[in-house]
């Protein structure tokens, strides 16, 4: 259980600050994470890795010569935002391009992918590599949907060594992908983990049982079995991984050499791991496999989860040389690397936010109404934070409530600041979206950011509705962040939209059918952005299941009902659709692996969307409050 906390929302930031203070000679902090404190040879490919907090030593603990050049650090079990990733990548770049490495989770795919797009737009050669080692989360004949768990260590270690060896970006990416294709992992849990500030674990394992096939974000396993002896646990891990031996070893010539990681998940002690490793080593030898430089210990944890995982990577000569190459990081050392001079460059300019665009009088008034709406969003999310977390814990990692709260609070504050600087509606939403992304991260951060960006682009900053910031789509870091945040901002955007809608109903946001139609177009643009960026469709059990019916009903009712009544109808449709997701099996995201487990429980993203649009319904008590009254 996570016991020593202050404000749970500050846990990740405080943990990173303490880590940086403890390892000041090896790493330096930048916006969004850490980079090496030592200088790197010019022209060397930079490897930037990352993921959520709660997995130490992954990911910041792997930064150093022979491994990663930088790590982007998100909140607990949440991917870092694209703006954070871009910031770390800029600070790590040595002129040879950058490879972004991460576990294969929906939020990480969205944020790292958006970051790569932004970096390429800035002229940097940026590639991505998603680790897919978990055999419990996808079939052997289709590894692409599989999660990245402890195999992150093995694959990213080889990738970092490839960059250290001087390989160009194409060759380094090939080495990393070959390592990923040759890597398989499986985990066992004996007890769940507890998020900072929570009063109970995300899942429990009955006495005398163990959970098989768990994730590293507090997700439960896909099956429960009787608790075995250490030897029988080792046999289960070896047998299930070696069932894929032929496929995993095919890309390395059917090798009989393996890299091994026996990984503790946070509460299983080293002596227990060594008892298990004794049997694993015996079994692998009996199978004719030679273990090369095994690693036993904690390398990618899940807060205080009781459990362990086994990872095997089949090796050819190239991969073996990279696996055994020297490395010097705070959490992993092998061999000897000559001391390097410290880097002396300025790291304070790697993060750039979109500029404030002055708006016309009418657009500024709408921006103020949107800022007030975001205060309503914030209060709505805070009120329902526990409910959203509980819904997310059914088949996910339980952080949807706290993530939404972080995002909504940051968005509301950023919107008020933009209004004070004279921003128009488009820029208000762009800044709110960027802030939401920074603080929320995760899949919801990416999706809501894209929606808020598109919503603001339709409204614009000028009184004729033109000149919208575009949500920061092209705005350097802020653009990327804007997307992500906007993602989260989608709630905002939607919320903001509603708010705008509410404002429209009161005459503050505009007048007449033309303004209502424009707001409806903004909603449709926001929903389309979520569909495009996230890839989900109705029936996948995501926020899309509530957002699409909302936009459809709004457009259908608007011509005859007027905006306020149409919004109310649309909000009811969203609520009904959100509740209906209880009968759907998840097909995307972290809940996909545990889709059946989620039957009977509605999707938290759809529920949060429905709650927000309901709170922003024109004429409702929440929506009628002014920004001053809500502050």
| DSSP notation for 540-557 | SSSTHHHHHHHHHHHHHH
* Count of CB atoms situated within 10 Å of the CB of 628: 9
Alpha helices in 243-383 (DSSP H): 245-250, 270-286, 317-323, 361-383
- For residues 236 and 136, is the Cβ–Cβ distance under 8 A? no
Token pair in block for residue 275: 């008892």
Q: Of 154, 155, 156, 159, nearest to 169 (Cα)?
A: 159
For 541, phi and psi rounded to 5 degrees?
Answer: 65, 65
Laid out side by side, the sheet with 223-226 consists of 223-226, 209-212, 183-191, 306-314, 257-264, 290-297
What angle in degrees, to the nearest 10, is found between the helix axes of 106-121 and 512-534? 100
For 11-20, the CB contacts below 8 A with 24+ separation are: 11/53, 11/75, 11/76, 11/196, 11/197, 12/52, 12/53, 12/73, 12/74, 12/75, 12/76, 15/53, 15/56, 16/53, 16/60, 16/73, 19/56, 19/60, 19/61, 19/330
- Please, which residues bridge with residue 312 across strands? 184, 260
Give the up-direction half-sphere exposure of residue 420: CA atoms within 13 A in the CB hemisphere. Answer: 8
Token pair in block for residue 157: 């270690």
Both ends of the chain: CA-CA distance in Å? 35
Which run of H or of E encompasses 223?
Answer: strand 223-226
Q: Of 480, 481, 497, nearest to 566 (Cα)?
A: 497
Polymer length of the chain: 631
Active-site positions? 217
- For residues 129 and 180, is the Cβ–Cβ distance under 8 A? yes
Q: How far apart are CA 594 and CA 219, in angstroms?
A: 8
Q: How far apart are CA 307 and CA 572, in angstroms?
A: 44
For 369, phi and psi rounded to 5 degrees?
Answer: -65, -40
Q: How far apart are CA 102 and CA 82, in angstroms?
A: 13
Q: Of 299, 293, 295, nearest to 324 (Cα)?
A: 293
Could you say which DSSP state residue 357 is in?
P
Which run of H or of E encompasses 520?
Answer: helix 512-534
Q: How far apart are CA 268 and CA 543, in angstroms?
A: 36
Torsion sign, CA atoms 333, 103, 127, 123 = negative
Could you say which DSSP state residue 305 is in?
B
């Amino acid at each position: 259980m996570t016991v020593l906390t202050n404000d749970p929302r500050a846990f990740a930031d405080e943990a990173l600050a303490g880590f940086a203070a403890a390892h000041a000679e090896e790493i330096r902090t930048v916006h969004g994470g850490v980079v090496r404190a030592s200088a790197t040879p010019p022209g060397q490919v930079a490897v930037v890795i990352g993921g959520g907090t709660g997995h130490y030593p992954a990911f910041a603990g792997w930064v150093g010569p022979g491994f990663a050049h930088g790590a982007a650090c998100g909140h607990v079990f949440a991917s870092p935002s694209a703006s954070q990733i871009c910031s770390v990548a800029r600070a790590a770049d040595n002129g040879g391009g950058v490879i972004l490495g991460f576990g294969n989770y929906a939020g990480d795919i969205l944020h790292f992918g958006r970051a790569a797009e932004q970096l390429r737009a800035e002229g940097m050669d940026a590639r991505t590599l998603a680790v897919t080692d978990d055999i419990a989360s996808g079939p052997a004949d289709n590894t692409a949907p599989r999660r990245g768990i402890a195999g992150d260590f093995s694959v990213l270690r080889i990738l970092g060594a490839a960059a250290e060896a001087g390989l160009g970006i194409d060759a380094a990416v090939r080495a990393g992908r070959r390592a990923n294709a040759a890597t398989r992992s499986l985990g066992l849990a004996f007890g769940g983990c507890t998020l900072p500030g929570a009063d109970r674990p995300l899942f429990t394992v009955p006495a005398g049982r163990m959970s098989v096939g768990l994730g590293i974000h507090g997700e439960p396993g896909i099956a429960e079995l009787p608790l075995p002896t250490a030897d029988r646990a080792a046999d289960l891990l070896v047998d299930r991984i070696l069932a894929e031996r032929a496929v995993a070893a095919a890309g390395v010539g059917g090798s009989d050499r393996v890299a091994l990681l026996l990984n503790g998940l946070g509460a299983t002690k080293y002596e227990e791991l060594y008892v298990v490793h004794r049997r694993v080593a015996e079994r692998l030898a009996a199978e004719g496999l030679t273990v090369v430089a095994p690693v036993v210990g904690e390398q990618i944890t899940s807060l205080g989860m009781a459990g362990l995982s086994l990872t095997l990577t089949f090796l050819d000569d190239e991969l073996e040389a990279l696996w055994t190459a020297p490395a010097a990081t705070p959490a992993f050392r092998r061999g000897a690397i000559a001391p390097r001079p410290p880097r002396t460059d300025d790291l304070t300019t790697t993060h750039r936010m979109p500029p404030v665009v002055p708006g016309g009088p009418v657009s500024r008034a709408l921006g103020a109404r949107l800022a007030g709406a975001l205060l309503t969003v914030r209060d709505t999310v805070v009120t329902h934070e526990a409910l959203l977390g509980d819904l997310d814990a059914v088949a996910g990692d339980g952080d949807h409530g706290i993530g939404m709260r972080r995002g909504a609070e940051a968005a509301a504050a950023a919107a008020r600041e933009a209004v004070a600087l004279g921003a128009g509606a488009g820029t208000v939403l762009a800044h709110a979206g960027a802030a939401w992304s920074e603080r929320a991260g995760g899949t919801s951060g990416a999706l809501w950011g894209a929606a808020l960006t598109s919503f603001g682009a339709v409204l614009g900053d000028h009184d004729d509705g033109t000149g919208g910031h575009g949500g920061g789509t092209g705005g350097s870091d802020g653009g990327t962040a804007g997307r992500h945040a906007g993602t989260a901002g989608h709630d905002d955007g939607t919320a903001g939209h509603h708010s705008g809608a509410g404002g429209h109903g009161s005459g503050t946001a505009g007048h007449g059918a033309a303004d209502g139609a424009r707001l409806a177009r903004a909603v449709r643009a926001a929903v389309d952005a979520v569909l495009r960026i996230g890839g989900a469709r109705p029936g996948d059990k995501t926020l899309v299941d509530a957002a699409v019916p909302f936009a459809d009903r709004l457009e259908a009712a608007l011509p005859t009902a007027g905006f306020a009544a149409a919004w109310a109808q649309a909000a009811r449709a969203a609520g009904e659709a959100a509740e209906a997701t209880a009968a759907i099996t998840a097909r995307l995201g972290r809940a996909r692996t545990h889709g059946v487990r989620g039957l009977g429980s509605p999707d938290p993203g759809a529920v949060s969307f429905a709650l927000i649009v309901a709170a922003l319904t024109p004429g409702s008590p929440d929506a009628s409050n002014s920004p001053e009254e809500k502050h």
